Amino acid sequence: MAHYTWLLFDADGTLFDYEKAEAQALQATFEQFGQPYATSHLDLYHPINEQLWLELERGLVTPAELQVRRFERLLDALGLHGDAQAFGTRYLQNLAGAWALLDGAEEVVRTLSRTYHLLVITNGLRDVQRPRLQASPIGRYFDDVVISEEVGAAKPSRVFFDVAFARMGQPDRRQVLLIGDSLSADIRGGIDYDLDTCWFNPRHLPRPEGLDIRYEIHALPQLLNLLGE
């Protein structure tokens, strides 16, 4: 095991239960606008949202465009009329208040903060991530948070990691471990920046070829064992 001094954590899908928060926020948004809601709305929303986040990672859309376009496409798919920008704004407000953590996240972060510097690195949106971290019981354990919308670049871009390392005081990259669930944003970004990566893979997906993933865990508490805590 390498000697790490910094641990970089992705937020959604790694620490926060994004799927639960997403479902709650989407239902609340439709109800607040007096629109009918069914669980099938979420099934339509998922591929729309995922495609736009991939476009964000590639620099094809901005965070502001993403917020509106996902609801333009969803309302169109549902055959509903509505103000997509207003939907997007209200959805973010609802999402910001949903900070449910994944199993073990609080214990893991609290324990690791005694030994390591911790940093959140997220492609999420400022108006969601900062309120969630502040409201959650884990926010106080992190030295800082780097948010793509604020820095003008998204994971896996090297520019994003340049900002993160500047915030960290330029530590030796061999002393930094990145933990995340996204192969395209977290793991690819970390590997391309010459960092050791730990893939959080709770669904036990097959490991892809061509990615030199250093570690793999299926539950967050396994990270404590991996790091000798």
What is the model's pLDDT at position 63?
A: 87
What does DSSP assign to residue 60? S
Residue 179 β-bridge partners:
9, 198
pLDDT at 1: 63
Q: Where in the sequence is the domain holding 147, given as residue range(s)?
A: 6-16+101-226
User: What pLDDT digit, counting tens, does each position of 62-83 carry?
Assistant: 988 999 999 999 999 999 989 9
Residues forming the active site: 10
Report the share of the chain in percent with pLDDT over 70: 99
Identify the pLDDT of residue 189.
97
Single out the residue in 96, 128, 159 at which a domain terminates: 96
Q: pLDDT of 91-113, one tens digit each?
A: 999 998 888 999 999 999 999 99
Average per-residue pLDDT in the chain? 95
Query: Among the three residues 78, 96, 114, which one is the final residue of a domain in this structure?
Result: 96
Among residues of the chain, what percentage have pLDDT more than 90?
Answer: 89
Q: Judge if 182 and 105 occupy the same domain.
A: yes
For the beta carbon of residue 10, count every other beta carbon within 10 angstroms: 25
Identify whether 170 is part of a domain: yes
CA 127 – CA 51 distance, rounded (Å): 21
Is residue 1 included in any domain, yes or no?
no
* Dist CA 72 CA 63 (whole Å): 14
> Do 28 and 84 fall within a single domain?
yes
pTM > 0.85: yes or no: yes
pLDDT at 88 over 70: yes
d(CA 124, CA 102): 17
Say whether both 130 and 74 belong to one domain. no
pLDDT in tens, 37-49: 999 999 999 999 9
CA pair distance 15, 63, nearest whole angstrom: 21
β-sheet bridge partners, residue 15: none
Same domain, 179 and 208: yes
Task: Tell me how many domains the chain contains.
Answer: 2
Q: Do residues 127 and 145 share a domain?
A: yes
Q: What would the mean pLDDT of 151-172 be, rounded to a whole number?
A: 96
Q: What is the pLDDT of residue 148?
A: 93
